[in-house]
Structure formats: structure tokens, C-alpha cells
Amino acid sequence: MHLLNFYGASLIDRGKTLTLIFIYSGEFAERVVRNLINDPSFCKSCGLYCNSCKYGLYSYVQSILAAIKLPNPSNLPTFIDKPEEYMPKFIPRADICIASGLHKDLLLELPTYLKKNGVKALIVPVEDFNEVPAGLRRQVEEQCLELGLEVVFPKPFCSLEPSEDRPLISRFVIEFRVGRPMLEISLVEKGGREIIEYAFVKRSAPCGSTWYIAKRLTGVETKRETLYDAIARAHHSYPCTATMNIDPETREPILHIGGYIIREEVEKAVEKARLQRN
């Protein structure tokens, strides 16, 4: 078990500031943490062409009280009889827990553990349906309902939007500006072609990919085929790490769903920019 405590944040009275903890295994949660704290060594997708487009613009490091890494499920027994013995010995009291990549029996134990430790909401991103099958999701949802915890299983994480029935989780999306992407786009005419002058990120995918995609859109023609190709190439290049296997519920690879989401949001931003010009 590995515990990171960011700048002693758990010792600070945060007042009304929303607080998070991460309980995870694998690399995906670490990508989200590094995006939220805006780690300047994190995004290297642009290589030598990096202009530090996001660095210095935000950091939520003071709101992340801990990131606790549990053993990889492949290193644990297939069935765990006493999952409570594998849970962290201590977690700071926080508003929301984001859990990713956990052994199925540990995820099933998590709602009871969180309630006992004063956590009020649970977010379980589903980037691979094999990690969180539908049956397990329903069991965890039922437990959270009985315990009075807010819960959501966004599939993928970049599909998460505010919802009136989940006020704490909605605050996470709004205040941390992550979830389903939102962009603002400016258009210009060049040589009879409509070109994206710039794309500004108003809300990013939790992994940070929206910043890279927005940068790659500069100078791209808004003709549908050209725009779709630019979005897809940027989305894959970042890269998106969601599974390419066909999800049995959506009948689509989760990676493709993430691609459709950013494509839809870019199109919305383009249409809004056109209306503002006219």
C-alpha cells in the first residue's frame, strides 16, 4: 500500500473547499491526479512543440488529501474472504473518493469502508468493463444507496456531467472543471475556408486529453471530414487508455465512446462560434 499526502492537506481545515481522496491500483488514477494537480512533468504529448498551454492555469493540489495505491488485482487472490484486511489502515475524512482499478472484492467492500471513515460520495470511472462488470456495479450502487452515499460509474470518466441528484459529485465536475469536455472556439476565414483560430478548454476530460486535443485543433479546417480526422488523431495520440474491447452494455469500445464525446463537444463549440459571428 502506498499513501501520498499532498502538502499536508489533511491537516488543514479546508472550510467549504471540496476534498478528494483516491484509492486505486494501476496507472489511470495517477493520470487523473497528475492532471488535477497540473504536474508540469505530466503531459509530454507535444514533445518539443510544448508551449506549456495549461501550466500555471490551475492546480487542485490542496484539495487532494491522499492518493492510496492498493496492490494490483493480479497480485491478489481471485476471491478475498476478508477484504477489510486489505483496505487502507487510515484515510483522511474527505468529501469524495475516486476509486479505480481495484480488485472486485475490494471495490465491493469500499462503500462500507468509506461510510465508516466519513466519506460522502464515490466515483468509479469505468475505462474497462472487465474491471467493473455490470453486476458488480449494481451491487455497489445498492450498497451506496443504503448507506446514503452519492455514487456514479461514468463510462468513460469523460462522460461525467453535473446532476441534480448528485450535488457533491456535481460540485466536483463544476469546481474542478473536469468531466465531459467543454470548449470555446474562435473561427476565422482564410482563403475561402473556415479555420479554427484557437480552442480554449473550459472543462477537460479528467485525464487531461482535452488540452492536447484543443491545441491540435489550431489551424484545422472545420470541414467535417477534416475536423473529425484531426480530433480522432489527437484523441488517439494523447493517448486515450480506455479499452478497445466491445463493451457488452454499450456495444461500443469505451475508447470510441470517449472519441465520440470529444467530437460532439468540438462540433457544439464550432456551431456556437458560428452563431456568435453571424
Question: What local confidence, expressed as pLDDT, does residue 278 receive?
Answer: 73
Q: Which of 108, 101, 169, 103 is nearest to 142 (CA)?
A: 108
Q: Provide the pLDDT confidence category of residue 40 given band limits of 50, 70 and 90.
A: confident
Interval 192-216: pLDDT, tens: 999 999 999 999 999 999 999 999 9
* Mean pLDDT rounded to a whole number for the chain: 92
Name the grid cell of 136.
458488480
Residue type, 28: F
**Average pLDDT for residues 77-89, to the nearest whole number?**
95
What is the C-alpha to C-alpha distance for residues 182 and 190, in angstroms, rounded to an integer? 25
What is the C-alpha to C-alpha distance for residues 273 and 184, in angstroms, rounded to an integer? 8
Instruction: Sketch out the chain's domains with CATH numbers.
Output: 2-176 (3.40.50), 182-277 (no CATH)
Name the grid cell of 38.
497540473
Is the pLDDT score of 7 beyond 50?
Answer: no
Using a cut of 0.85, tell me whether the model's pTM lies above it: yes
Question: What count of other Cβ atoms lies within 10 Å of the Cβ of residue 224?
Answer: 10
pLDDT, greater one: 189 or 10 = 189
**Coil, strand, or helix at residue 62?**
helix
CB 250 within 8 A of CB 257: yes
Q: Which of 219, 172, 155 is nearest to 64 (CA)?
A: 172
